[in-house]
Structure 1
Amino acid sequence: MPPSRRQLSLIPLSLSLLLSPAVLAQEPLQLVATTGMVTDVLNELGGDRVEVKGLMGPGVDPHLYRQTRSDVTAMTRADAVFWNGLNLEVQLADFLERLEKRTPVFAVGEAVPREARMADEEYEGQPDPHIWMDPARWRHAVEAIRDGLIELDPDHEAAFAERTEAYLEELEALDAYAHEVLQSIPGGARVLVTAHDAFGYFGDAYDLEVLGIQGFSTESEAGLARIESMVDLLVERQIGAIFVETSVSDRNIRALIEGADSQGHEVRIGGELYSDAMGPEGSYEGTWLGMFDHNVTTIAGALGGEVPEGGRLGRLGEAKEEQ
């Protein structure tokens, strides 16, 4: 049985140098990930070679998240830290930049080519960080996670590569499903109104007009003028469905509904979408594949498209019913 990390720390340096990398590599990598999406992909690609602590669970907004004392301890003790980057986890950025001097830190969102990044209209020079909303762009992050795992544990490169290939096949199948069902939305209804601008890449990928009440970051507040202009737009264009998000307050969405109602136009909530966080832990929606399937199916169905019951695989809601 290989020695534990604690046992290794008690072995004299001269003796520990004689231990082969193969022996040391028997323990799983101890990793920390920021968002649920990054955590999920790390677990999928790493398999039993990784133990991943995710910092941000269901309903947690990464734009506003601040590390706790236990988070700092976990990150400083980890073999590596994986984060989205691209100005998403803005409150963690300074700490991770300092940590990178002593611990491997992988900003997987940086793998998306610059020409494929959308600009953040509020913060000049900054990209929209919500790359997981488009499978074609998210693929780059998945491959960056694979490469990070191989760098940390090269002895298991073949296993990481095999698991990544299988995962990307599922990603491509989900992307094909999304194109099919979202294309079935009637032309006049192809408008996606959400609490904040997390769906820009989604709209770009599937030819939907996306209107967010807030900007890319939930730190920005939607002013009264913005709410009023959005209400006028809903009424003028007869938009009948808008969407709430699990990680963002529905206060502004409710204001839109009330404002439209005061002008004699009925707007309903088309459903709840996963934007900056995934679904409940242990559920299908608690995976990136599941959250994306949920969003695609919910949006297409609410806007008049044709969708199968239960989504692409018939799995939507299955774990929620068991709980």
Structure 2
Amino acid sequence: MQRRQFMTAIGGVFVAASLPLQAFAQSATLNVVATTGMIADTATRVGGDLVHVKALMGPGVDPHAYRQTRTDILAMARADLVLWNGLYLEAQMEDFLADLGRKTPVRSVATAVPADNLVSHDDYADRFDPHVWMDPSLWKYAVAAVRDAMIEAAPDKAATFTTNADAYIAELTGLAAYTETSLESIPPDARVLITAHDAFNYFGRAYGFEVTGIQGISTESEAGVNRISELVDMIVTRRIGAVFVESSVSDRSIRALIEGAAAQGHTLKIGGELFSDAMGQPGTYEGTYVGMIDHNATTITNALGGNAPVRGLNGRLSAGS
């Protein structure tokens, strides 16, 4: 693909960027940058061999607090397509992405979910919960958004992108069915999910769980002493047996719940580690979107008294995962 080089300032950094002089060439590879691992994995599945995908945020990274580095700025400025979640997930990057969008194709995938399917933010009337990937049935809209963005960037590859997206959506349908079947095996009175922050609202709505996050939708909020005390009282009164840590959020508040419950003579265990705002390690099954959701569903089911295969839907979960 022929490109015209120019110097441009993005995010206060001057970079050598380029603009395409013609449509995506048949033999070229589409250079895609995605903010989160979930989006990057989806882009890889939709694009296949026709794309090169770079994820900015790896395992254990909190997207609510993430700020772009100079390396990130260079990668995004030189990309053919930048994909981000939106709905204020990447709160610290919004201004930068808006600026970048005047020079580079930048597309939000979570905003493809119909507004009437979004969960309203508790504190802001004009905002929504960004964690749409927690419901595979909603993540299908993100897959379609990635497909459409790639077709816009490389229209001559539309057939391949469409075929790949259709196959991936069919896989997500199976994932949603497994998740529902597994979670239904949990006794109804045990379907209470307590985690570090409110990342599981879409999960709770889809599968009939009462979900409580110690912090709010954003990890930028802090859990005060009163909040911890209220939750401890609720846990002890209702005899809740397990809470869950998150791979991308400090377990400090979860430990405070366990200690507070113990002080009242109630044993509270950690039911396992869940993937919320980031996936598992690259190269592992848990490092894929399907593996991430499979891990969460299987872990929650077995910790709360249900019955799911230890190795999950595809028999690929790590031992002890």
Offset, 1:302: 0.3
Secondary structure of 1:59's aligned partner: coil
Secondary structure of 2:244's aligned partner: strand
Letter aligned with residue 187 of structure 2:
P
Q: Which has the higher strand share?
A: 2
CA distance in 2, matches of 1:59, 1:279: 8
Q: Which has the higher helix share?
A: 1
Q: Are the aligned partners of 1:122 and 1:215 in contact in 2 as well (CA < 8 Å)?
A: no
Q: 1:198 maps to which residue?
A: 199
Q: 2:39 maps to which residue?
A: 38
CA distance in 2, matches of 1:100, 1:62: 19
Letter aligned with residue 226 of structure 1:
R
CA distance in 2, matches of 1:20, 1:250: 50
CA distance in 1, matches of 2:66, 2:132: 18
Secondary structure of 1:176's aligned partner: helix
CA distance in 1, matches of 2:22, 2:39: 31
Post-superposition Cα deviations, 1:184-219, rounded to whole Å, max 9, x if no partner, equal: 100110100000000000000000000100000000
Aligned residues: 306
User: Taking structure 2 as the reference length, what is the TM-score of the superposition?
Assistant: 0.92
Offset, 1:31: 1.1
Offset, 1:21: 4.7
Offset, 1:125: 1.6
Post-superposition Cα deviations, 1:253-309, rounded to whole Å, max 9, x if no partner, equal: 000000000000000000000000000000000000000000000001100001112
CA distance in 2, matches of 1:107, 1:160: 18
Letter aligned with residue 311 of structure 2:
G
CA distance in 2, matches of 1:316, 1:20: 44
Letter aligned with residue 113 of structure 1:
P
Offset, 1:123: 2.9
Letter aligned with residue 245 of structure 1:
E
Unaligned stretches of 5+ residues in structure 2: 6-20
Post-superposition Cα deviations, 1:39-80, rounded to whole Å, max 9, x if no partner, equal: 000011101111111100000000000000111111111111
Letter aligned with residue 234 of structure 1:
I
Q: 1:27 maps to which residue?
A: 28
CA distance in 2, matches of 1:206, 1:315: 23
Alignment identity in percent? 57
Q: Does 1:110 align with 2:111?
A: yes
Q: Does 1:296 align with 2:297?
A: yes
CA distance in 1, matches of 2:316, 2:169: 19
User: Taking structure 1 as the reference length, what is the TM-score of the superposition?
Assistant: 0.92
Q: Are the aligned partners of 1:270 and 1:298 in contact in 2 as well (CA < 8 Å)?
A: yes
Q: Give every structure 1 segment of 4 or more consecutive aligned residues whose post-TM-superposition deviation is greater than 6 Å.
A: none
Q: 1:249 maps to which residue?
A: 250
CA distance in 1, matches of 2:188, 2:86: 35
CA distance in 1, matches of 2:160, 2:79: 22
Matches within 5 A, 1:106-255: 106-255=107-256
Q: 2:270 maps to which residue?
A: 269
